[in-house]
Structure 1
Amino acid sequence: MERILIVDDDAELGVRLSKHLGREGFEAIAVQEGRQALQQALSGGYALAVLNDATLTMDGFQVLQEIRACSDLPALIMTGSGTETDRIEALDMGADDYLPKPFNPQELAARIRAILRRAKPDFGGRPARRNGDRIVVSDIEIDPGMRIAYRNGRLIELTSVEFNLLEILLRAAGQVVSREELARGALGRPLGMNDRSIDVHVSSLRKKLGQHSSGFERIKSIRN
């Protein structure tokens, strides 16, 4: 059973979400205090963290930032404002997804399952790919089985979504891949109306890959 950490300053909401996720087949633990949440998140005992954008001592963005400094634990941000700025900030800081409040708890469970599928290619009984099955395009190399990426032989730190995007793009090198295809492949869901999450993840991936020595664009956007 996958353990989910829920971090929210609203104790009642935390209890409700924990109970609902329990019915969905997860073991969910809710905490209110940011420092405690950070300690729990870095303990290695959780498959994913659900972070509110506010806790009793630290906001969810601070917790996420400190998690990302030393861990690739999948994380989903619940944001109370739902503004585009907050959503972009969450994704820029390494969140795997975001969910504006109020939301249907079933949607939260569905998004958690989608994130876990992305983070674990063999989730749900699918056979894992061989570690030796590497993909190389120019100076970028990835190992899909180990889910690690290199540029000129140096490790690139990627979130699970960024790795999924990179794998999709490398497998389709030289071809056009639509935003919808990227969303379904990397996020595990279709794009919503005015949903810019893929654009933010692609922008972050571009920054991490850096400029090619020849100056050409590694990821080229084509507008209709």
Structure 2
Amino acid sequence: MDKDVKILVVDDEERIRRLIRMYLEREEYTIDEAENGEEALIKAIDVNYDCILLDLMLPGMDGIEVCQKIREHKSTPIIMITAKGEETNRVHGFEVGADDYVVKPFSPREVVYRVKAILRRSSTTAFLNLDQTANDVLVFANLTIDHDAHRVTADGTDVSLTPKEYELLHYLALSPNKVFSREQLLKDVWNYEFFGDLRTVDTHIKRLREKLNKVSPQAANMIATVWGVGYKFEVPAE
């Protein structure tokens, strides 16, 4: 892993920031800290971080609002830190653009695992470690995915996606008409073997469809739900 990886840790509890910092610095990452939402937002916009660990419950501006405002400017991967009883807020976090979450009380090793998974999948060269040299550009009737540029166009118009939304779309499009279960998508796209919430997949599919639908309803309809099973990228017959 590159030694110049820069991570922002946001939590109002100094002991939690110190604990996370200690474990991440062992991986030779550079760590910045913020103790409230306002400070976190300024740093997140001013500095190009590789990942942001963001506590949900912050004094003043909470993690949901910080995440929402960051997403207006940047697609930096965000891992939300939540308490056990905050399930609804956790889902809301995904809706405003969080990529992942850890639940307090957490194992510091789990945090390291999550960060490494985020860094792997946000790298343009590490996507699933698949040999896709012949599939750098995927072209369909209403949708084009340029993997080298990480660019998606629907009916000729660019579609702005977060890194995770892009990966999910690209993964499905690599295997047209193949049905994937939520568990399989968590494992292959999120790199989860034993962590994760199946609603993570549903929320990202929903946001992906909404963004495509604003530009091309036909492109959005290519992401099909297979009830009781999962999802597939459906290519209409010629």
Normalising by structure 1, we get a TM-score of 0.89
C-alpha displacement of 1:162: 0.7
Please state whether the residue corresponding to 1:141 is helix, strand or coil. strand
Please state whether the residue corresponding to 1:117 is helix, strand or coil. helix
Map Cα deviations across residues 184-203 of structure 1 (whole Å, 9 max, x no partner): 22211136475321111111
1 CA distance for matches of 2:32 and 2:52? 10
Aligned partner letter, 1:83 = E
Aligned partner letter, 1:65 = Q
Aligned partner letter, 2:63 = G
Aligned counterpart, 1:19: 22
1 CA distance for matches of 2:179 and 2:132? 25
C-alpha displacement of 1:145: 1.4
1 CA distance for matches of 2:19 and 2:80? 17
Aligned counterpart, 2:208: 205
Map Cα deviations across residues 51-87 of structure 1 (whole Å, 9 max, x no partner): 0012233101111111000101111100124433122
Matched, 1:40 2:53: no
Matched, 1:162 2:181: no
Identity of aligned pairs, percent? Answer: 30
1 CA distance for matches of 2:65 and 2:196? 28
Map Cα deviations across residues 10-62 of structure 1 (whole Å, 9 max, x no partner): 11211111111111332222210222211111123311111001223310111
Pairs within 5 Å for 1:4-15: 4-15=7-18
Aligned partner letter, 1:189 = Y
2 CA distance for matches of 1:38 and 1:153? 33
Does the 8 Å CA contact 1:80/1:102 hold for their aligned counterparts?
Answer: yes
Please state whether the residue corresponding to 1:45 is helix, strand or coil. coil
Gaps of 5+ in 1: none
C-alpha displacement of 1:123: 4.8
Pairs within 5 Å for 1:4-153: 4-123=7-126, 133-153=136-156
Task: Point out the more displaced range, 47-56 or 188-197.
Answer: 188-197
Aligned partner letter, 1:16 = L
Aligned partner letter, 1:95 = A
Distance change >3 Å, CA 128–CA 50, structure 1 → 2: farther
Does the 8 Å CA contact 1:129/1:145 hold for their aligned counterparts?
Answer: no
Does the 8 Å CA contact 1:51/1:77 hold for their aligned counterparts?
Answer: yes
Distance change >3 Å, CA 217–CA 71, structure 1 → 2: same
Does the 8 Å CA contact 1:7/1:32 hold for their aligned counterparts?
Answer: yes
Map Cα deviations across residues 113-139 of structure 1 (whole Å, 9 max, x no partner): 111111113259x79977x92111221
2 CA distance for matches of 1:216 and 1:201? 13
Aligned partner letter, 2:96 = M
Aligned partner letter, 1:113 = K
Q: CA RMSD in A?
A: 2.6
**Number of residue pairs matched?**
223
2 CA distance for matches of 1:127 and 1:174? 19
- Please state which structure has a larger fraction of its residues in strand: 2
Distance change >3 Å, CA 175–CA 102, structure 1 → 2: same
2 CA distance for matches of 1:179 and 1:220? 13
